[in-house]
Amino acid sequence: MTKPVVLIAEELSPATLEALGPDFDIRHADGANRAELLPALAEANAVLIRSATAMDAEALAAAPHLKVIARAGVGLDNVDIKAATEAGVMVVNAPTSNIVSAAELAIAHILSLARHIPRAHASLASGEWKRSAFTGVELFEKTVGIIGLGRIGALVAERLAGFGVRLLGFDPYVQPARASQMGIELTTLEDLMKQSDFISIHIPKTPETAGMIGLEELKSAKASLRIVNASRGGIIDEDALHTALSEGWIAGAGLDVFVSEPPKDSPLLGLPNIVVTPHLGASTEEAQEKAGISVARSVKLALEGELVPDAVNVAGGIIDPSVRPGIPLMEKLGQVFAGLCDSSITSVHVEIRGEIVEHDVSALKLAALKGIFSRIVSEQVSYVNAPLLAEARGVAVSMSTDPQSDEYRNLLSIKGVLADGRTVSASATLTGAKQAEKLVEVNGYDVEVPLAQHHIVMMYEDRPGIVAIYGRAFGDADINIAGMQIARDTKGGKALSVLTVDSRVPDELLRDVAGEIKATTMAHIDIIDL
């Protein structure tokens, strides 16, 4: 019997090959060399890569027998997941392989800042002996703020507890009981910035979190603050950070990630009160070995037709063709739902109506959870780990189906309850021959607007002149309104506006508009490709 062909396109740990075992025809190619990679893919059933191999549409077209792409690491920027899904190729990665390494690097940055270790080493190595120049601070009894309480943030908190620190946390999606179990006091971002002596960031990079730590936040901080970002580049506004460090607003910063990598000509690199590393979060022997072993096991499962815990997408062959268009729609709807939630979620209910329920639609629930948690956690969210992420956060998840759909051929809905008892909902459908994606309900109000990249949802008292106010404000800021729908319960009652705009609206402008129209809800929701 012919053995399945597994192509190793980059150098992996010896443990990876050991984990694959003897049941495969192992071949090697230089994945960075397209002339070598493409012919090697012709007979491959699986390909194992790291970051240098681009598995794009061209590569997939050259691999007619390919069943699984395995990335020995976390990031998947070099894999065209959409093209892989359309081709029925499973994509797997190793989402938890580096979490300990990443957490320990954050701790290393904190300690390096506290005791000036890099500068002290450089000074002594150059022949100087300047003990007084490197007087540091203890962590003991200091206040440490952790932004993002996912798996890495929790590991950082666990390790910091041994230093006798007070732990503050900011994560709108974590329930107080969960934070309390970790020994963390939940607070607002504003309060965390004002109180913390050290801050460590562990959140995903999204349009909402980009530049989350800017001039205003850094101005409010203690002069003793030392802030560390080993998560994603751009969460701290680098220009604002340079100003804060240069002007002495804060005491120091530690960065492992940057907006542009490598950070060529960045003025941050020349500052004396910053510690920098070249994106080393996963750069340990243990993380690399764990990643290789993890994806090797996933490849074995995939080629044997078994459940793959770290699958990022859903292999095309297991979903009915009539259900497949609902997968990306549900992922986007999950993002809309998450964008409407301004506090922790206690329950999520997925409701599918229409003729589509004749088929297995369980993947739609998974797609909804993937969309929701992709905006909440820093780690890669898959169809398999999304329910586990919900369980870890105490979020009850349910699903119902109904063949009856009065207004639309099929209707996909997500409904949820927040910690304070408020309900949130969003519904969408596919319309016309082109299966156009449309948002048709928000928080109980009927709307019909195309799903786009940028959305604004406003709730306010219905009265004349509101549209003129925000229309003028956006126009003055050169922000074009592409689509708009207004719904209301009664004349003079509550009104809901859903807008699609051609570019992201600055948070400050949204705050100004919200104040002027006395909005009770002002949500800016950006949709990203997952």
pLDDT digits (tens, 9 = 90+) for 169-187: 999 888 888 899 899 999 9
CATH code at 452-530: 3.30.70.260
Query: CATH 3.30.70.260 in the chain, residues?
Result: 452-530
Catalytic residue chosen out of the listed positions 109, 178, 232, 393: 232
Active site residue 119: no
| C-alpha torsion sign, points 141, 145, 150, 155 | negative
Closest Cα partner for 44 from 71, 25, 20, 58? 25
Q: pLDDT tens digits, residue range 441-496?
A: 999 999 999 999 999 999 999 888 999 999 999 999 999 999 888 998 777 788 99
Active site residue 18: no
Task: Write down the pLDDT at residue 316.
Answer: 45
| C-alpha torsion sign, points 193, 196, 197, 202 | negative
Catalytic residue chosen out of the listed positions 18, 138, 247, 261: 261
Phi-psi region of 11 (alpha: psi -120 to 50; beta: other; left: phi over 0): beta
Tokens of 406: 């009065």
Q: pLDDT tens digits, residue range 182-215?
A: 999 999 999 999 999 999 999 888 877 889 999 9
Q: Is 108 helix (H, G, I), strand (E, B) or coil?
A: helix
Percentage of the chain beyond pLDDT 70 is 98
Query: CATH 3.40.50.720 in the chain, residues?
Result: 5-95+287-318, 99-276
CATH architecture label of 99-276: 3-Layer(aba) Sandwich (3.40)
Active site residue 279: yes
Domain 320-451 is in which class? alpha beta
Question: What ranges in 319-358 are assigned the alpha helix state H?
Answer: 326-340
Catalytic residue chosen out of the listed positions 34, 242, 279, 359: 279
5-95+287-318 adopts what CATH topology?
Rossmann fold (3.40.50)
Q: Is 481 helix (H, G, I), strand (E, B) or coil?
A: strand
3-state per-residue secondary structure call for 119-133: HHHHHHHCCCCCHHH
Q: Give 237's pLDDT tier (boundaries 50, 70, 90).
A: very high
**Where are the extended beta strands (E) located within 82-174?**
90-92, 143-147, 166-170
Interval 244-264 mean pLDDT:
95
Q: Is the pLDDT reported for residue 307 higher than 70?
A: no
Q: Is the pLDDT reported for residue 318 higher than 60?
A: no
Q: Do residues 525 and 457 touch, judged by C-beta distance below 8 A?
A: yes
Residue labelled with tokens 């004396």:
272
Q: Which residues, at least 6 apart from 368, have a Cβ–Cβ distance to it below 8 Å?
A: 330, 331, 333, 334, 337, 348, 350, 412, 414
Q: How many Cα atoms are found within 13 Å in the side-chain-facing hemisphere of 488?
A: 12
